[in-house]
Amino acid sequence: MDVTELHPAGLKLIRPRVFGDGRGFFLETWREERYAAAGMPGPFVQDNWSRSRRGTLRGLHFQRRFPQGKLVYVMAGEVFDVAVDVRRGSDTFGQWHGAHLTADNRCQFYIPPGFAHGFVVLSEAADFVYKCTEVYHADDEAGVRWDDPRIAIDWPLEGAPVLSVRDVALPTLAELDAEVLPVT
């Protein structure tokens, strides 16, 4: 596998080795010792799969007391995936990185604990899979507005995104109480 270190520090883009022929292809989506050696130690304790339609934007979400590291990829379709550093005290606080993840490029995006995460669907639909280093705690979830002007994410949107009621009501970074942010 080929691993590219990204900015802010800790983010990684992974290109797994793909074995293909006329029948199709094969690739490993996870092997503990290889990923740990590349700086993604886990342990991963929960897997999630979501399907969303074009224009759906999910995020930007994080957990306060139980931050999740995530290894994400797309099984069908295309998304623009974003991680924002929300670690209190971080030198790169509020900075973001986005990655185009598709079923065709088979890239994975590693997001360490302490980052807010979100994505927008660019294809008709997308199946999005992620491994998490912490289980989901509904009472611990927090988030930041997808269009926070301080973060200024350059979302590749055509028109207004499709948002959940919860995501519409998320605060900006400036509106968040610093105590809810994960610590570096």
User: Annotated active-site positions, please?
Assistant: 61, 130
Rounded to the nearest 10 degrees, how much is the dihedral formed by the CA atoms of 25, 31, 33, 39? 90
Query: Which are the contacts of 91, defined by CB distance < 8 A and separation ≥ 6?
Result: none
Rounded Cα–Cα distance for residues 164 and 156 (Å): 19
> Rg of the Cα trace of the chain?
16
| 3 state DSSP class of 148 | coil
Assess contact for 120 and 154: CB atoms under 8 A: no
Rounded Cα–Cα distance for residues 66 and 64 (Å): 6
Which letter does DSSP use for residue 174 in this model? T
H helix runs in 22-180, sequence order: 32-37, 165-168
Query: Which H helix or E strand runs over 151?
Result: none
* Cis peptide bond N-terminal to 8, omega within 30: yes
